[in-house]
Structure 1
Amino acid sequence: MDRLETAHEAFRKYALKGVEEFNVGVGRYVIMPDHMHFFVRGDNQFNLGKWVNGLKRAISVALGGTNNRPLWQPGFFDHLLRNDESYAQKWEYVRQNPVRAGLVDSAAAWRYQGKIVTIDRA
């Protein structure tokens, strides 16, 4: 299994655990060779930073990462979708990442994407 497949499997496992145990929903996502994009929702008690750190840790462990060499940059970048923004438009931009990176000819051909739960807003 290649690194992206391993990361994808670990991402899905962690995201499904979040749905079952913590009422955290991961919508659509794309796993890239050096980063990932995903849409996530949680209740008022949801701590995105803590959740992302757990996700990074889970994927690092799956990839055989050690504490000697970090696999991830510190922190993360987030963006809150506002009422006037379309989830569908943001998703289309995100899913085109592999095409813009020259990894595939069409977004549909990228194997490392999917959806855990439906969180569409529009």
Structure 2
Amino acid sequence: MPSFGRAQTAFANYALRAQRQFDVAVGRYVIMPDHIHLFVRGNQNFSLSPWVEGLKRALSVALETPRILWQPGFFDHVLRSDESYAQKWEYVHENPVRAGLVENSDEWPYQGEIVVIDRA
């Protein structure tokens, strides 16, 4: 990814705009060199696919990169319990360590939480 800082800013802006306009909450996230992990909660009418396409478009514009940067589609997993959220976050949070980017996951600057998603 050309610029993690610009990617993080564009990601946060998109997430906040989605929250205001479409009642979509982005919780915790980790931006990696070649992918992004994020937790998203939408309302009953929420469709993840167009939301992800919009995110890819927003990041491509902000980073001034071609859309070809992104793989087609995306991978998702529905979380059904607080325990699952905690387990998935632990896995996601440790990604920068497993990739050899930092020694401690808290050192990775390209992570955060836009909205606290109710984990109950």
Q: TM-score range by the shorter chain?
A: over 0.9
Q: Could you tell me which residue of structure 2 aligns to residue 86 of structure 1?
A: 84
The answer on 1:121 being equivalent to 2:115 is no
Unaligned runs of 5+ in 1: none
Judging changes above 3 Å, is the alpha-carbon distance between structure 1 residues 84 and 15 closer, same or farther for their aligned structure 2 residues? closer
Unaligned runs of 5+ in 2: none
Q: Could you tell me which residue of structure 2 aligns to residue 52 of structure 1?
A: 52
Q: Could you tell me which residue of structure 2 aligns to residue 71 of structure 1?
A: 69
Q: Could you tell me which residue of structure 2 aligns to residue 13 of structure 1?
A: 13
* Structure 2 residue matching 1:16: 3-state secondary structure: helix
Q: Could you tell me which residue of structure 2 aligns to residue 106 of structure 1?
A: 104
Q: Could you tell me which residue of structure 2 aligns to residue 97 of structure 1?
A: 95
Moved more, 83-92 or 52-61: 83-92
* Structure 2 residue matching 1:86: 3-state secondary structure: helix
Whether the aligned pair in 1 keeps the contact of 2:96 and 2:108 (CA below 8 Å) is: yes
Judging changes above 3 Å, is the alpha-carbon distance between structure 1 residues 83 and 59 closer, same or farther for their aligned structure 2 residues? same
Quick one: which amino acid aligns to residue 103 of structure 1? L
Alignment RMSD, CA only? 1.4
* Structure 2 residue matching 1:40: 3-state secondary structure: strand
Q: TM-score, normalised by structure 1?
A: 0.92
Quick check: which one's helix share is greater? Answer: 2
CA distance in 2, matches of 1:78, 1:66: 23
* Structure 2 residue matching 1:89: 3-state secondary structure: helix
Q: TM-score, normalised by structure 2?
A: 0.93
The alpha carbon displacement at 1:121 in A equals 1.5
Aligned positions, number: 119
The alpha carbon displacement at 1:84 in A equals 7.3
CA distance in 1, matches of 2:3, 2:32: 11
Q: Could you tell me which residue of structure 1 aligns to residue 33 of structure 2?
A: 33
Quick one: which amino acid aligns to residue 105 of structure 2? A
The alpha carbon displacement at 1:38 in A equals 0.3
CA distance in 2, matches of 1:62, 1:88: 31
